[in-house]
Amino acid sequence: MPKTKKMHIAQFLVHGPTYHSLAMWRHPKSDMTKENWTQPELYQHIAKTCERGKFDMVFFADLNYISDTFRGTLEPALRYAVQAPEHDPVPLLSYMGAVTSHIGLGATLSVSHHHPFYLARLWATIDHLTRGRAAWNVVTSVNHNQASNYGAEREPTDTRYEKADEFIQVCRELWNSWDEDAVVMDRENAVFVDADKVRRIEFEGQFYKSRGPLNVTRSPQNGPALLQAGTSPKGRALAAKYADAIFAIQPRAEDAGAYFSDIKQRMRDGGRDPDTCKILFGMQPIIGESEAEAQEKQEIHNSLVPADGGMAILSAHLDFDLSKLPPDAEMASREEPELQRMKTRYRKASGEPMTVREVGVRHGQSVGLPQFVGTPTNIADQMEAYMATAGGDGFMLSPIYCPGAIEEFVNLIVPELQRRGLFRTEYTGTTQRDHLLQDD
Ligand SMILES: Cc1cc2nc3c(=O)[nH]c(=O)nc-3n(C[C@H](O)[C@H](O)[C@H](O)COP(=O)(O)O)c2cc1C
């Protein structure tokens, strides 16, 4: 009998009080205090919980701004915790790595405002510290507030992606500037490094220059695993060229299927084995002991999202002030260029159009991630059905409260998926890439 292809599962996190749900910090089941979300213990607990559930990775999104896009003021973002505040997630990876042994540890770091040498060095160091479990989500920042914080102008999408491509090339050359066996540490003959096994890179590109070599030895994965999350043609091309995994948001399984096929075709066209990049679709599990309890939980959660908070987070993600539009206007029929990028998210699952306000509220609830609502058996069914339609490789889970919703998934749904042969019962490798490549 052919073996069932197993899913890959990652846990979405933010080093802050809200993730995809603006209700998270105020949800009665959230165990979040003014202090604990800034401290390592919460994230160490989450990492240990997800490792118990044999997840591929924990993964942090990240932004470097507080948005004033909605109404031109910081007030809604600050008041409703619209992905603000956000502390830097990268230092947490070391804390989480110290109390776990297998789970992958991923974080987002934008290439838009740094030099490749610094990020190549940082990620090689993290890969060492986590013994080969590092993953870097390579993003190009879209919001003007982020560019302003670095004293820059926001660049057009195509330029940002051309720079990102060259950025990754420089990083890869720097990681390759050390051979695996360069460090000999021969005490008797006073040779720490065999100098023939370390090279300059002399990189001179259109945007970056670097002489090299890196001053970090080759790390267990030779640099981190690379993640990507872009939807434009250039974003998809970058992901298909370099990524070990992609985080994608597709509310409808049919659209997810088209996205999945497009990326895998791009990989084949570029000479890559399509199984070497896993596409993880975001979803928000809402688990109940009965269907009725799960639905009630969904209603309670969704009602805790303030409409203005939703409008503020969507405005930030589009980098377009939605207060300029009538709230009852039909979103999908708007012509503004900034609004075209997320067009597939402006309709209900039934295909009916949504108003600007409805889309804003929906965005505040889950940023467009589909909510899978039901008993553990029912949610496992929904995951199976989504995979069957989308052809995807797995899921990025986003909790509605923290850390309880993460614990519930591990305790109630993982055993159900394992019972069905759809998810690993043991890790077979030790690095982030090992987990992503473990398919059965
Ligand atoms: C699912 C998803 C997650 C993203 N996460 C982040 C993030 O954490 N930080 C960030 O600065 N940008 C993030 N981005 C933004 C992308 O890196 C990119 O700038 C943006 O999507 C515009 O490019 P595109 O038109 O190719 O999608 C994310 C995008 C997507 C689609």
The domain ranges of the chain are 8-437
Q: In this structure, what DSSP letter does residue 339 have?
A: G
The pLDDT > 90 percentage for the chain reads 90
Position 185 scores a pLDDT of 98
Position 256 scores a pLDDT of 94
Checking if the pLDDT of 113 tops 80, the result is yes
Checking if the pLDDT of 1 tops 60, the result is no
Position 251 scores a pLDDT of 85
Q: What are phi and psi of 284, to 5 degrees?
A: -115, 105
Q: Which atom in ligand 1 lies closest to the alpha carbon of residue 234?
A: 26
Q: What are phi and psi of 43, to 5 degrees?
A: -75, -30
Q: How far apart are CA 15 and CA 17, in angstroms?
A: 7
Ligand 1 pocket check for 16: Cβ under 6 Å = no
Residue nearest to atom 8 of ligand 1 (CA): 61
Degrees, nearest 5: CA angle 191-194-200 = 135
CATH of 8-437, one of 3.30.479.30, 3.40.50.2300, 3.20.20.30, 3.40.190.10: 3.20.20.30
Structure tokens at 146: 């982020």
For the beta carbon of residue 150, count every other beta carbon within 10 angstroms.
Answer: 13
Give just the sign of the alpha carbon dihedral 353, 356, 357, 363.
positive
Closest CA to 162 of 144, 140, 145: 140
Residue pair 318/342 in contact by the 8 Å Cβ criterion:
yes
Checking if the pLDDT of 6 tops 60, the result is yes
Ligand 1 pocket check for 230: Cβ under 6 Å = yes
Average pLDDT, whole number, for the chain? 95
Q: Which atom in ligand 1 lies closest to the alpha carbon of residue 108?
A: 8
For the beta carbon of residue 300, count every other beta carbon within 10 angstroms.
Answer: 15
Query: Omega of the bond prior to 403 within 30 degrees of 0, cis?
Result: yes
Cα distances from 414 to residues 93, 153, 167, 395, in angstroms, run: 24, 45, 38, 12
pLDDT tens digit sequence for 387-439 = 999 988 999 999 999 999 999 999 999 999 999 999 999 999 999 999 999 99
pLDDT tens digit sequence for 290-340 = 999 999 999 999 999 999 999 999 999 998 999 999 999 999 999 999 998
Ligand 1 pocket check for 84: Cβ under 6 Å = no
Close Cβ partners of 114 (under 8 Å, ≥ 6 residues apart):
none
Position 230 scores a pLDDT of 82
Query: Any bridge partners for residue 282, and if so which?
Result: 396
Q: How far apart are CA 19 and CA 343, in angstroms?
A: 22
Residue nearest to atom 25 of ligand 1 (CA): 232
Ligand 1 pocket check for 157: Cβ under 6 Å = yes
pLDDT tens digit sequence for 164-181 = 999 999 999 999 999 999
361-378: average pLDDT: 96
pLDDT tens digit sequence for 124-147 = 999 999 999 999 999 998 788 999
Candidate from 59, 64, 66, 139 with most ligand 1 atoms within 8 A of CB, to mutate: 139
Ligand 1 pocket check for 106: Cβ under 6 Å = no
Ligand 1 midpoint to CA 179 (Å): 33
Ligand 1 pocket check for 136: Cβ under 6 Å = no
Q: How far apart are CA 317 and CA 311, in angstroms?
A: 10
Position 3 scores a pLDDT of 59
Position 345 scores a pLDDT of 82
Closest CA to 89 of 13, 181, 9: 13
Position 373 scores a pLDDT of 98
67-93: average pLDDT: 97
Ligand 1 pocket check for 83: Cβ under 6 Å = no
Ligand 1 pocket check for 229: Cβ under 6 Å = yes
